[in-house]
Amino acid sequence: MANQLTVFTERIDDVVLLLHVMMKSKLPELLNENLPRHWKQKGLDWGWVVVIWLAYILSNGDHRKVVVREWVEQRRSMIEQVCGLQLRETDFTDDRLAIVLGKLSEASTWQVIERALSRQTLRIYQLKGVCVRLDATTVSSHHLLSEDGLFQFGHSKDDASLPHLRDLRINRIPGILKENKF
């Protein structure tokens, strides 16, 4: 009986995918650059605490702090393998989560993090202008009419005596939407 097999079963659900996407976007490193540790702080750094907590929130649709520690413990082996970490039992206590949440709630800190994240994840493409036609729904109303207004008299499926939304044709010029009057 020297070759006895021990099997551990853990639910992984969508957590591996969530962690991988956040790791690929270098979110733990970005957070660590902007959420400094206290020199006496032990255990997991703030970047990883936030990333694993976000994986919990997104996977479960639950923002409560009180259950995160238990949730992490149930997936400990998987999280350690995916993230390449050594987790401690005290890394996800309510107190630690409250501290990092307090740091994230500071407007100046959050703006720096948001700006840095946007710089590395936002892509802008130069698109060529195209003509788009928007057909409005058949809505009649009691609006005042003006020459440049959205509501005009004309062909109406409901009641030709009432103003209705006119046909709009919009030219899409990169960065600008412009209405053409026909």
Residues in the chain: 182
Tell me the C-alpha distance between 166 and 164, whole Å: 6
In whole angstroms, how far apart are CA 90 and each of 14, 55, 70, 79, 81? Answer: 24, 18, 11, 15, 18
CA 142 to chain CA mean position, Å: 41
The DSSP letter of residue 167 is P
Extents of the domains making up the chain: 15-121, 130-180
Whether the pTM exceeds 0.75: the reply is no
Structure tokens at 52: 């694993």
What is d(CA 18, CA 40) in angstroms, rounded to the nearest whole number?
30
Q: What is the pLDDT along the chain (182 residues), one digit of tens a residue?
A: 678 888 878 777 899 999 999 999 999 999 999 998 888 888 899 999 999 999 999 999 999 999 999 999 999 999 999 999 999 999 999 999 999 999 999 999 999 999 998 888 777 777 777 666 555 555 556 666 666 665 555 555 666 665 555 544 444 444 544 444 43
